[in-house]
């Protein structure tokens, strides 16, 4: 461990939280994401590790915070439609991810427990247009671990906003995934440079042991 990394981890104070991003059927179900050319074993392994981290967080009294995409046909994300289809007025098609009230929006292999914080976002970041910052402040959260799907998109956006809002951020590399392993690694490299300290599930769990509840 480098001297800088040792200092970074030693300086983590206050109550931690685990933020789970977009582990939903539209992004994790192999029957859905196979058509994207996704590395299915890698995504499945990351989801399994997320589930292990959720269990470890609960065992150690660490709050688990759930961030989900909820695509609303009555309030379409026009910029996304423009980027993906070239038409900001394009209607939602059958491949639109995580449409509210459809199976695509369901959690995949993990799910919130009663009383855990949940927010539904419209775009990439869990903080944009949601009450996430307020809820974390109310809980006295001092630092965050962000995991889920996908590394280069909603995990990166949520982690970046958390950092800009002045929370130290850790990202467990084995509890995140992109559909392409090179893209996953490139995203981690960028996040390590500008946003977060990279870790893994085993180290993160050890950091949680003995933290104030």
Would you tell me how many other CB atoms lie within 10 Å of the CB of residue 143? 19
What gap in Å lies between CA 127 and CA 155, rounded to an integer? 11
Active site residue 153: no
Q: Which of 98, 147, 153, 154 is catalytic?
A: 154
What gap in Å lies between CA 68 and CA 116, rounded to an integer? 13
Place of tokens 């989900």: 68
The strand ranges marked E within 11-135 are 15-21, 64-69, 117-121
Place of tokens 């040792």: 6
Which tokens sit at 60? 């150690």
Which tokens sit at 183? 């893209």
Residues annotated as catalytic are 154
């Amino acid at each position: 461990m480098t001297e800088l990394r040792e200092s970074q981890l030693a300086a983590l104070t206050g109550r931690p939280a685990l933020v789970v991003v977009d582990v939903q059927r539209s992004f994790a179900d192999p029957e859905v994401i196979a058509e994207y050319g996704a590395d299915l074993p890698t995504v499945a392994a990351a989801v399994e590790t997320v589930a292990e981290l959720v269990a470890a967080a609960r065992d150690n009294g660490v709050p688990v915070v759930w961030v989900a995409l909820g695509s609303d046909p009555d309030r379409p994300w026009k910029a996304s439609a423009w980027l993906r289809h070239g038409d900001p007025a394009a209607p939602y098609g059958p491949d639109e991810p995580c449409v509210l009230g459809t199976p695509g929006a369901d959690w995949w292999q993990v799910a919130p427990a009663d009383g855990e914080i949940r927010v539904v976002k419209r775009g990439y970041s869990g903080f944009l247009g949601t009450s996430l910052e307020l809820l974390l402040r109310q809980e006295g959260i001092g630092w965050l671990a962000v995991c889920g799907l996908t590394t280069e998109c909603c995990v990166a956006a949520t982690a970046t906003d958390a950092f800009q809002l002045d929370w130290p951020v850790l990202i467990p590399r084995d509890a995140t995934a992109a559909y392409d392993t090179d893209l996953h690694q490139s995203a981690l490299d960028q996040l390590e440079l500008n946003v977060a300290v990279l870790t893994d599930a085993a180290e993160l769990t050890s950091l949680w042991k003995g933290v104030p509840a």
